[in-house]
């Protein structure tokens, strides 16, 4: 899953990003409101952590732009403002949760997981492609009756494929969604992980699901 942190305090942003990456999330970081709004509108994120006191464009203005663009991404406001009025304004402005500074990373992680879980529950819970199924709530993957064990990155890659069946995904799209915005496109890690995934879900099956689009990237097709 891919997240965006919009936070101008670089130590705080680095602390959050490091912790989330250690939990196998792909994380992008913006250090001001203008950059944060641009990234939020140009990319697909599963969750945004948004500070309110930002240079160039404050957090409430960033949030307004996100909601005006009909982006349903969960937004967790992170700020030193802790008055009831500020919390109410943030929630009524379109945020999904509110965490005040200083905070423990364990609490932030728990809130992130709760927002992701709530977001998943609002969507179709089971993803399918031919006889391959993925349950986002339990993270169980099965090909027919066979349960397939995946690493966290393999799972993230498969979920991205299954949410985009029959769509050609470039290596850049895959790397940005499964890894992060600053991912080095010159590495072959995308191809390596696609091969890992193929061996686990396609090997031994008559119907191959993951196909190479030469010179472009990959596509998951049901037939």
- 98 and 114 together in one domain: yes
pLDDT higher than threshold 70 for residue 181: no
- 108 and 134 together in one domain: no
pLDDT higher than threshold 60 for residue 124: no
- 110 and 149 together in one domain: no
Verify cis geometry, omega within 30 degrees of 0, for the bond prior to 172: no
Please give the tally of structural domains in the chain: 2
Give the residue, 100 or 92, on which the prediction is more confident.
100
- 96 and 71 together in one domain: yes
Give the residue from 150, 171, 179, 168 showing the smallest Cα distance to 210. Answer: 168
Query: What is the percentage of the chain residues whose pLDDT exceeds 90?
Result: 52
Pairing of strands 97-100, 75-79: parallel
- 53 and 116 together in one domain: yes
- 212 and 149 together in one domain: yes
- 96 and 204 together in one domain: no
Count how many Cα atoms sit within 13 Å of the Cα of residue 124 in the half-sphere of its side chain. Answer: 8
Give the range of the structural domain holding residue 14, as residue numbers without chain letter. 2-121
**Rounded mean pLDDT, 80-109:** 81
Q: Is the pTM of this model over 0.75?
A: no
- Read off the CATH number of the domain in which 131 is found: 1.10.10.10
- 131 and 116 together in one domain: no
Output DSSP code: residue 135.
E
pLDDT band at 98 (very low <50, low <70, confident <90, very high): confident
Distance (Å, whole) CA 22 – CA 18: 6
pLDDT band at 184 (very low <50, low <70, confident <90, very high): low
**Rounded mean pLDDT, 170-184:** 78
């Amino acid at each position: 899953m891919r997240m965006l942190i919009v936070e101008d305090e670089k130590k705080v942003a680095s602390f959050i990003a490091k912790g989330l990456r250690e939990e196998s999330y792909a994380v992008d970081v913006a250090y001001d409101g203008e950059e944060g709004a641009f990234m939020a509108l140009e990319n697909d994120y599963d969750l945004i952590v948004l500070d309110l006191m930002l240079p160039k464009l404050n957090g409430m203005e960033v949030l307004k732009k996100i909601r005006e663009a009909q982006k349903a991404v969960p937004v967790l406001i992170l700020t030193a403002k802790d008055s009831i009025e500020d919390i109410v304004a943030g929630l009524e402005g379109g945020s999904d949760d509110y965490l005040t500074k200083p905070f423990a990373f364990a609490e932030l992680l728990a809130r992130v997981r709760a927002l992701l879980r709530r977001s998943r529950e609002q969507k179709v819970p089971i993803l399918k492609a031919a006889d391959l199924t993925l349950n986002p709530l339990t993270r169980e993957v099965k090909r027919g009756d066979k349960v397939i064990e995946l690493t966290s990155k393999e799972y993230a890659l498969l979920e991205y494929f299954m949410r985009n069946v029959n769509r050609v995904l470039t290596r850049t799209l895959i790397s940005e969604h499964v890894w992060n915005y600053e991912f080095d496109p010159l590495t072959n890690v995308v191809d390596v992980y696609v091969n890992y995934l193929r061996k686990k879900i396609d090997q031994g099956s008559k119907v191959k699901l993951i196909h190479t689009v030469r010179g472009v990237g990959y596509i998951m097709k049901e037939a």
